[in-house]
Amino acid sequence: MEVFIVSEARAQAAASTTPRSRWASLAVLSSGLLMTIIDGNIVTVAMPAIQSDLGFSAPGLAWVVNAYLIAFGGLLLLAGRLGDLIGRKRMFVWGLAVFTAASVLCGVATDQGLLIAARAVQGVGGAMTSAVVLSMLVALFPEPREQAKAIAVFSAVGAAGGALGTFLGGALTETLSWHWIFLINLPIGAAALVAALRILANDRGTGLAEGADYPGAALVTGALMLTVYTIVSSAGHGAPATLVLAALSLVLYAAFAVRQARTARPLLRLRVFRSRTLTGANAVQIMMIAGMYGFQYIGALYFQRVLGYGELKTGFAFLPAPIAIGVLMLGLSAKVIGRFGPYRALLAGLVLITAGLALLGRLPTEGSYAVDVLPPMLLLGAGFAAAMPAVTGLAMSGARPEDAGLASGLFNTTQMVGGALGLSLLTTLAASRTEGLLADGERTLAATADGYRFAFWVATGIAAAGFALAATLLRPERGTAAASAKGEQREPTMV
């Protein structure tokens, strides 16, 4: 058995930069993340306007979201590995360029086919950018306490981007048009691209000669894309078709695992899953993100279809969540993790998330925003502010330095799968519940609200399961418990 600590190469990379340049680099990386996260959510509020303008059917409209999710989720792992080979800065910069160009195509789209195709290309650029960000951050901040602060900032930006996307989607759609939810990425992307070229330190990958297992890449990319497609399209397929697609996904994963075990230069070194910390953190993240993503989407529907809010008012209604997340992450998260350790911070955060979702499961048909919505929203914000930096640090601590890009891609992949799972499962259950009540003669408004309450109760169960999984799999070993309580992040033991 050997214990992996911060590598000499990682320490040298940090030593070659000043504290100011490291934090400037973090700002650049966060801006790239912010743009991709905003874009993943900005479409939600604008969907009715897009449907009306381009004449989408209800099933067709879903592909404005699905095309992005499938490309993004399917390519993250491959992009992370290629970043290790060709250099992570190069992958990040190329991803920004692809994402920004595709955003312009989305903004000028005048027909359904072009918009869906451009959204898929956006997903490719988003995967290239996001897959390497965490590995670059960990290399910049090898010291545990500084790294906890950097991850808190990074996580706050990502969390704020989700709700900010909903706000901007409503504001831009109502004041200008839906085209601007994409065109706004042009100045942001151009500025981020220039800053990345000037500020981020150059790095050398191990070289393509080291090998990217292209047959393995084809298998895992196909498996991931099919997994995301199965999740996001399950509402439109019957159970038999969904089971067939799920079975085919499992076959591709099995073929990929066999390939990785036998090839000399695997794309995914299966040894990374020997780390209980890395594997457990990714599994917990899937459940946590599924519940939070469900809140964001179902919450927007509740505001518009039950409370009667417009797009702009819906955007404003979500603002307390990112404000709470940003304030708590930047002010307290790193201190909490430093004082009590990431394990305890994660458990506390999951308790708050579960409680917030449970309160949302009691939303009345004629609810009050201040009384019924705001308190659980703040609980969710506080819980996410505690849990997300903790689970991020735990996941990245389980990888060797040479596997950091791969671990970053894997972490982002499970995040995307969790979001797709939450979106598909909770919206399908809410719609099914509402349709059943309408068939029984219930009023439309009451049936709609009850469907959303049911979805929130399911999300509560998912979050509670995430807590149980975290408590079981991520409990520090006796030898590291004291260090964890003091906030000292040791690298986990790998067999």
Report yes or no: 351 and 206 within 8 Å, Cβ to Cβ.
no
What number is the average pLDDT over the span 15-32? Answer: 71
C-beta separation of 412 from 83 below 8 A? no
- Spatial contact of 377 and 367, defined as CB atoms under 8 Å apart: no
Distant-in-sequence, close-in-space partners of 57: CB < 8 Å, separation ≥ 6: none
Mean per-residue pLDDT over the chain, rounded: 78
The pLDDT of residue 208 is 61
Is pLDDT at 287 greater than 60 in this prediction? yes
Average pLDDT over residues 168-190: 84
What pLDDT band is residue 476 in, cutting at 50, 70 and 90? Answer: confident
**For residues 83 and 131, is the Cβ–Cβ distance under 8 A?**
yes
Report the SS3 class of residue 39: helix
For residue 394, give Cα distances in angstroms to 141, 334, 338, 375, 492: 15, 13, 13, 29, 9
Q: Which single residue is written with the structure tokens 């995307």?
A: 416
Q: Ramachandran region of residue 266, left (φ > 0), alpha (ψ -120 to 50) or beta? A: beta
Residues 245-256 have a mean pLDDT of: 89
Residue range 17-28: mean pLDDT, rounded: 73
The pLDDT of residue 487 is 45
Res 309 pLDDT > 50: yes
Q: Is the pLDDT of residue 462 over 90?
A: yes
Give the model's pLDDT for residue 398.
60
Amino acid at 322: P
Closest CA to 23 of 160, 194, 165, 195: 195
Q: Is the pTM of this model over 0.95?
A: no
Q: Is 55 left (phi over 0), alpha (psi -120 to 50) or beta?
A: left
Amino acid at 362: R
pLDDT mean over 146-162: 72
Question: Distance between terminal CA atoms of the chain?
Answer: 5
What pLDDT does residue 393 have? Answer: 80
Which range in 47-51, 78-82, 306-310, 449-453 is most confidently predicted, on average pLDDT? 449-453
Q: How far apart are CA 349 and CA 282, in angstroms?
A: 16
pLDDT(273) > 50: yes
Q: What is the pLDDT of residues 197-220, one digit of tens each?
A: 888 877 776 666 666 677 877 887
pLDDT in tens, 214-232: 787 788 778 877 876 777 6
What is the pLDDT at residue 20?
62
Distance, CA of 377 to CA of 375 (rounded, Å): 5
173 pLDDT above the threshold of 50? yes
Enter the tokens of residue 41: 């959510």
pLDDT at position 489 is 43
Please tell me the predicted confidence (pLDDT) of residue 494.
Answer: 33
How large is the average pLDDT for residues 252-266?
83
The pLDDT of residue 114: 92
Per-residue burial over 24-49, b = 16 or more CB atoms within 10 Å of its CB, e = otherwise: bbbebbbbbbbbbbbbbbbbbbbbeb
> Which residue, among 115, 120, 94, 93, has the nearest Cα to 105 in the 3D structure?
115
pLDDT of 93 higher than 50: yes
